[in-house]
C-alpha cells in the first residue's frame, strides 16, 4: 500500500445564494412544486434570451478574492452542448476558456497540524440543469425545471491532494469559506454544495499521473472520504493484478460503499463549446473588484490566527471555533461577556454546547441558549459560586428551560458551599457514619480518601467547594 500514491483533485459545485436565477428572474428557493419556479427562459422557449444576474458575478468575485485568485476583467460565457431532457436548451451556459476566477489557493491543516497549500485552477459561473423524476410515474419520466438556471460556481482544484482525508479537509475548507462569504448556504442534503472527485494512483516517486476516474456528485464529507478510499483501493488492486485503470465517470453507491462505472470517456459527449452569442463578455472594472474586496468579511484563516493569538487558544480549538461564522461570533460574544477565561469559554462552546446542539440537530444560531446566558454560567464558575461539575447540571437546566444560570442556581439551591464550618460539619458527620472505612484509612488504605470526598459531596448534594473539601478532609483525616 505504501508503494502507491493517490492523486486527487476536486471539482466543487456551490450553488450561489442569489434570490433569482443566473439568467432569468425566476426564484431559486428550494422545495417548490415541480416547475413552479421555471419561467419561459428556464424552459428554453423559442425566442427567449438569457440576461446575466449581476449578483452571481459579484459572488464569484468575492470567492476569487477570498482565495487570492486572479479576477478576470474579461470573462466569457460559453455553451456546453448536449442533449438531455432536463437540459431545456440543449446546452448549458457555462464558462470555458475564459473563466471569471483563475489561480487561487486554499490552505488546509493536515492531521499532524501542518498546513498544506492546495491550488485552485479556476472557478467559473454556470447554470444548473433541472432534474428528471421517475417516482410515481410508471413508464414515464417527469421533468422538473425549478433547478434549471440556478447559479453555480464550479471550483476546480489542482490534483494536489494525496489522501481522502486531505480531500475532505479541502472540501470542508471551501464549505466554510463559501458560508463565510455568504455566497452559498452550504446545504449538502439539498445539493447546494457537492463535488466530483478525480482520483488516480501512481507508484511512489513516479512523476507522471496515473489514469484517473471521476466520481460524480458526492454530497457529503463522509461519502467523499469513503468513495475516494474505495476508489484508491480499487485502482491499486486493479493495477497490481495486472489490469489498467480506465478513464471513466463513476458513481458512488453509499449503500454498498463502492463506486461503479457510469459512462466511459469513449462514449462521452463532445460538448462543442463555443462562446454564447446571446451574452456579452463580462467586463469588470477595477473599481468594482475593489468595492467587492472592501465588502469581504474577516476570512476563516485570519480569524483562526486572531483567535489563537487573542484568546490563547490552540490551533485546533481556533480551527473548530471558526468553522462557521455563526459559531465564531457566538464564541466571541461569550468571551466579551465573560472575559476572564477564554479557554474555559472555548471548552464550553466546543464541549457541552456543541454536544447539546448536535443531539438536537440544531445550529448555534438557533437561539436556544444565548451567548449571554452561557457567559453568565462561566462567570459563576469563575467566581466560585458553582463548581465545574454543578455547572453541567446548571447548563442542562438552562438548556431545557431557557433561563439564566443565576436563576437555576437560585431555584435549585446549587450555590457552592464555601463556608469552611459547614464543610467541616459535613465531614464530621461522614466520618462518624463510616467508622470502619475510617479505621481502614488510618491503617494505611489511602485510596479511601476518594470515598470520603464522594460521601461528603453526596451529603452536600455536590455543592461543597471541591478545593476546600480536599483541603479540610486531608487535615481532618491526618489529624
Closest CB to other proteins among residues 267, 446: 267
Binding mask 241-270 for other proteins (x = CB under 8 A): -----------------------------x
- In the bound state with other proteins, the residue whose beta carbon lies nearer, of 47 and 444, is 47
- 383 by Cβ neighbours in 10 Å (0-12 / 13-18 / 19+) ranks as exposed
Distance CA 419, CA 421 (A): 6
Nearer to other proteins, 55 or 278 (CB): 278
Q: Of 246-254, 274-282, 303-311, 395-403, which segment contacts other proteins by CB under 8 A?
A: 274-282
Judged by CB under 8 A, how many residues of this single chain contact other proteins?
29
Least distance to other proteins, CB of residue 99, Å: 18
284 touching other proteins, by CB under 8 A:
no
For residue 463, what is its C-alpha cell?
455543592
- Does residue number 277 form part of the binding site for other proteins (CB under 8 A)? yes
The nearest distance, CB 125 to other proteins, in angstroms, is 14
Candidate residues 36, 137, 280, 296; the one interacting with other proteins per rule CB under 8 A: 280
In degrees rounded to 5, what are phi and psi of residue 299?
-90, 160
Taking CB under 8 A as the criterion, the residue among 51, 105, 305, 309 binding other proteins is 51
Q: Closest separation between CB of residue 94 and other proteins, Å? A: 13
Q: Compare residues 20 and 404 and give the one whose CB is closer to other proteins.
A: 20
Bridge partners (DSSP) listed for residue 12: 155, 195
Phi then psi for residue 288, to 5 deg, are -65, -45
Question: Toward other proteins, which CB reaches closer, 273 or 449?
Answer: 273
Task: Give the separation between CA 212 and CA 220, rounded to whole angstroms.
Answer: 21
CA angle 187-193-196, nearest 5°?
150
Determine the Cα–Cα distance for residues 108 and 110; give it in Å rounded to an integer: 6
Q: Which stretch binds other proteins (CB under 8 A): 39-47, 160-168, 179-187, 310-318?
A: 39-47
> Rounded to an integer, what distance in angstroms lies between the CA atom of residue 295 and that of residue 66?
11
Closest CB 77 distance from other proteins, rounded Å: 10
The verdict on 46 binding other proteins (CB under 8 A) reads yes
Backbone phi and psi for residue 14, each to the nearest 5 degrees, phi listed first = -115, 125
Nearer to other proteins, 34 or 44 (CB): 44
Give the residue carrying C-alpha cell 489498467.
Answer: 244
Residue from the set 2, 31, 33, 47 that interacts with other proteins by CB under 8 A? 47
Least distance to other proteins, CB of residue 22, Å: 13
Candidate residues 70, 274, 372, 428; the one interacting with other proteins per rule CB under 8 A: 274
What string of DSSP letters covers 224-272? Answer: HHHHHHHHHHHHHHHHHTT-----EEEEEETTTTEEEEEEEGGG-----
Cα 313 vs. chain centroid, distance in angstroms?
20
Q: Which of residues 357-416 bind other proteins (CB under 8 A)?
A: none
Residue 91 binding other proteins, by CB under 8 A: yes
Shortest distance, position 34 Cβ to other proteins, whole Å: 13
Residues 6+ apart with CB under 8 A from 395: 348, 352, 356, 377
**Is 36 an interacting residue with respect to other proteins (CB under 8 A)?**
no
Please identify, using beta-carbon distances, which residue of 126 and 225 lies nearer to other proteins.
Answer: 126
Q: Residue 70: beta bridge partners?
A: 102
| Binds other proteins by CB under 8 A, chosen from 64, 88, 99, 462 | 88
Q: Does 31 bind other proteins (CB under 8 A)?
A: no
All cell numbers assigned to 424: 467541616
Binding mask 65-84 for other proteins (x = CB under 8 A): --------------x-x-x-
Q: Which residues lie closer than 8 Å to 166 by C-beta, 6 or more apart?
A: 8, 108, 110, 116, 118
Which burial class, exposed, middle or buried, applies to 385 when counting CB atoms under 10 A from its CB (0-12, 13-18, 19+)? buried
Q: How far apart are CA 185 and CA 319, in angstroms?
A: 20
State which of residues 6, 9, 50, 149 lies at the interface with other proteins (CB under 8 A).
50
CB of 107 to other proteins, least distance (A): 36
In whole angstroms, give the CA distance from residue 377 to residue 399: 11
Taking CB under 8 A as the binding criterion, the range among 112-120, 236-244, 277-285, 462-470 that sits at the site for other proteins is 277-285
Cell of 441: 484509612
First-to-final CA distance of the chain? 64
Residues 108-167 within binding reach of other proteins (CB under 8 A): 141, 143
Backbone angles phi, psi at 447, to 5 degrees: -60, -25
Query: By C-beta, is 33 or 46 nearer to other proteins?
Result: 46
C-alpha cell at 62: 468575492
Which of 3, 19, 29, 45 is the binder for other proteins (CB under 8 A)? Answer: 45
Under 8 Å between Cβ of 12 and 104: no
List of residues contacting other proteins (CB under 8 A): 40, 43-52, 79, 81, 83, 85, 88-91, 141, 143, 270, 272-274, 277-280
Amino acid at each position: 500500500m505504501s508503494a502507491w500514491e493517490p492523486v486527487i483533485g476536486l471539482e466543487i459545485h456551490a450553488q450561489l445564494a442569489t434570490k433569482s436565477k443566473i439568467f432569468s428572474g425566476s426564484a431559486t428557493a428550494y422545495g417548490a412544486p415541480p416547475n413552479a419556479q421555471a419561467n419561459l427562459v428556464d424552459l428554453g422557449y423559442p425566442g427567449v434570451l438569457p440576461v446575466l444576474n449581476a449578483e452571481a458575478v459579484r459572488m464569484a468575485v468575492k470567492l476569487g478574492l477570498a482565495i487570492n485568485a486572479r479576477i478576470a476583467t474579461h470573462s466569457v460565457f460559453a455553451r456546453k452542448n448536449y442533449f438531455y431532457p432536463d437540459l431545456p436548451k440543449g446546452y448549458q451556459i457555462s464558462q470555458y476558456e475564459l473563466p471569471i476566477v483563475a489561480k487561487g489557493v486554499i490552505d488546509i491543516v493536515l492531521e499532524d497540524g501542518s498546513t498544506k497549500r492546495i491550488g485552485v485552477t479556476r472557478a467559473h459561473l454556470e447554470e444548473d440543469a433541472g432534474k428528471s423524476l421517475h417516482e410515481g410515474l410508471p413508464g414515464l419520466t417527469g421533468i422538473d425545471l425549478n433547478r434549471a438556471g440556478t447559479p453555480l460556481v464550479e471550483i476546480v482544484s489542482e490534483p494536489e491532494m494525496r489522501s481522502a482525508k486531505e480531500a475532505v479537509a479541502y472540501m470542508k475548507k471551501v464549505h466554510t469559506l463559501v458560508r463565510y462569504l455568504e455566497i452559498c448556504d452550504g446545504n449538502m442534503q439539498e445539493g447546494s454544495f457537492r463535488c466530483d472527485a478525480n482520483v488516480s494512483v501512481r507508484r511512489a516517486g513516479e512523476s507522471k499521473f496515473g489514469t484517473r476516474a471521476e466520481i460524480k456528485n458526492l454530497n457529503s464529507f463522509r461519502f467523499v472520504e469513503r468513495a475516494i478510499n474505495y476508489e484508491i483501493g480499487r485502482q491499486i488492486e486493479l493495477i497490481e493484478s495486472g489490469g489498467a485503470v480506465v478513464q471513466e465517470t463513476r458513481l458512488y453507491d453509499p449503500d454498498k460503499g463502492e463506486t461503479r462505472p457510469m459512462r466511459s470517456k469513449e462514449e462521452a459527449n463532445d460538448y462543442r463549446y463555443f462562446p454564447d452569442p446571446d451574452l456579452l463578455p463580462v467586463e469588470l472594472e477595477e473599481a468594482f473588484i475593489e468595492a467587492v474586496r472592501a465588502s469581504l468579511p474577516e476570512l476563516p484563516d485570519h480569524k483562526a490566527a486572531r483567535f489563537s493569538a487573542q484568546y490563547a487558544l490552540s490551533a485546533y480549538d481556533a480551527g473548530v471555533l471558526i468553522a462557521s461564522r455563526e459559531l465564531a461570533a457566538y464564541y466571541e460574544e461569550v468571551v466579551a461577556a465573560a472575559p476572564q477565561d477564554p479557554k474555559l469559554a472555548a471548552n464550553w462552546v466546543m464541549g457541552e454546547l456543541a454536544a447539546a446542539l448536535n443531539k438536537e440537530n440544531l445550529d448555534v444560531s438557533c437561539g436556544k441558549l444565548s451567548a449571554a446566558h452561557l457567559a453568565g454560567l462561566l462567570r459563576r464558575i469563575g467566581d466560585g459560586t458553582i463548581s465545574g461539575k454543578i455547572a453541567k447540571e446548571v447548563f442542562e437546566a438552562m438548556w431545557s428551560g431557557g433561563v439564566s444560570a443565576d436563576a437555576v442556581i437560585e431555584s435549585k439551591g446549587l450555590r457552592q458551599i464555601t463556608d469552611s464550618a459547614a464543610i467541616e460539619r459535613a465531614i464530621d458527620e461522614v466520618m462518624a457514619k463510616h467508622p470502619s472505612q475510617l479505621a481502614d484509612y488510618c491503617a494505611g488504605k489511602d485510596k479511601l480518601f476518594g470515598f470520603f470526598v464522594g460521601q461528603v459531596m453526596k451529603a452536600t448534594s455536590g455543592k461543597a467547594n471541591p478545593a476546600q473539601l480536599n483541603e479540610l478532609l486531608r487535615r481532618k483525616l491526618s489529624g
